[in-house]
Amino acid sequence: MNSSDLQIVAIDLAERSYHIAIRGSLFDNPLSYVELPAAHSALIVTNTTVGPLYAERLQRALSGKYPQVHTVVLPDGEAFKTWESLNLIFDALLGHGCDRKTILFALGGGVVGDMAGFAAASYMRGVPFVQVPTTLLAQVDSSVGGKTAINHPLGKNMIGAFYQPLKVVCDLDTLKTLPDRELSAGLAEVIKYGPIADMDFLGWLEANMDAALAREPAALAHIVKRSCEIKADVVGQDERESGLRAILNFGHTFGHAIEAGLGYGEWLHGEAVALGMALAARYSARRSELSAADADRAAGVIAAAGLPAHLPTLALSCDGARLVDHMRYDKKVEGTTLPFLLLRAIGNAYVARDVDLADIAAFLDAELHS
């Protein structure tokens, strides 16, 4: 694929349909926003890291179309995905006299995107918004599909709404300033699409991981486009996660337990998901549903991306039962049962509702001592 070609991925959701535009030199080009509805004002929502890098250029690009372009800068980090930060967005909207046509622009990673989306869903009962994702994770996953949320002290992403953007503008050039660790964390959500949906894509990642880590433009362009295509297909079939969309949570139940059990802030979300995927693959092999060779293959791609595929020895103070306890605070809990995303083969994920949590605890104990 030529990285200078504009790639468009469509999300087909009837009257809520939209496009994802993928290329370099996009976010600060007024043409990227030409089809958006007219409005008296726009509000850029960003954070203290991304704002100084990119907000002024976005403001300039929007200023020919919107008479007033305001910016609100939130504190950076998952710890600030809170009511307090959300309220800063409402303060800015009300303080600037923004109306029901005002368009929000989420400029940043998944944290900014999830919060700006939730603010857009609830300000004056809903105003339009555009995602301008600047992390790999946000470009391949969080900016697409309309899940918006903030955290609650008792659980991650527990307060939110399904609310689709008008457009997603993935500017590959913004990935140049992303720290290496964040790039790898984004690759976790990219790798996810192989085991759940596309064996060929997993093979492509095995062959091209070095190019991805070196941020070669053609490799990044293919990664973002293929990931968005797979996500668009899944979301188009099941927007509100009544079935199929659950496969996008592959590795997340184990991952959330790792984040909570080993300490929020120690692990990036993508790192925990990566280890969660390796564990889910090995647990699928333990149930004799996936071959041990395929479980090893999944772990190999994860490790090649510089991501953890095994529980670290420092976790020895933590046992399987404690990790399982953390799984009980999961949005996927159905009464007393917890569905698990498992694999029958690479490219064939399914929801298992017969998983015994005592067996998960025993599996995790074995993993901790292997």
Active-site residue among 47, 156, 167, 189? 189
Choose, by CB under 6 A, the member of 41, 59, 131, 174 that binds ligand NAD.
Answer: 174
Asked if 138 interacts with ligand NAD (CB under 6 A), we say: yes
Q: Of 254 and 363, which CB lies nearer to ligand GLY in the complex structure?
A: 254
Answer left, alpha or beta for residue 252, where phi above 0 means left and psi between -120 and 50 means alpha.
alpha
Whether 35 sits among the annotated catalytic residues: the reply is no
Residue of minimal CB distance from ligand NAD?
Answer: 110
Tell me the CA distances in angstroms from 16 to 12, 131, 165, 228, 248, one per residue in order.
8, 14, 8, 17, 20
Active-site residue among 182, 239, 241, 367? 241
Asked if 229 interacts with ligand GLY (CB under 6 A), we say: no
Asked if 49 interacts with ligand NAD (CB under 6 A), we say: yes
Asked if 173 interacts with ligand NAD (CB under 6 A), we say: no
Binding positions for ligand GLY, 230-249, rule CB under 6 A: 245, 248-249
Number of residues that bind ligand NAD (CB under 6 A): 29
Asked if 141 interacts with ligand GLY (CB under 6 A), we say: yes
Whether 239 sits among the annotated catalytic residues: the reply is no
Q: Of 108 and 145, which CB lies nearer to ligand GLY in the complex structure?
A: 145
Q: How far is the CB of 28 from ligand GLY (least distance, A)?
A: 27
Choose, by CB under 6 A, the member of 41, 47, 85, 249 that binds ligand NAD.
Answer: 47
Whether 271 sits among the annotated catalytic residues: the reply is no
Asked if 225 interacts with ligand GLY (CB under 6 A), we say: no
Q: How far is the CB of 234 from ligand NAD (least distance, A)?
A: 11
Active-site residue among 252, 286, 297, 326? 252
Q: Please list, residue by residue across 164-178, b when 16 or more beta carbons sit within 10 angstroms of its beta carbon and e when fewer do.
A: bbbbbbbbbbbbeeb
Whether 181 sits among the annotated catalytic residues: the reply is no
Asked if 307 interacts with ligand NAD (CB under 6 A), we say: no
Binding site for ligand NAD (CB under 6 A): 47, 49-50, 53, 76, 78, 81, 108-112, 114, 134-135, 137-138, 141-142, 145, 147, 157, 174, 177-178, 182, 185, 269-270
Active site residues: 125, 147, 189, 231, 241, 245, 249, 252, 256, 269
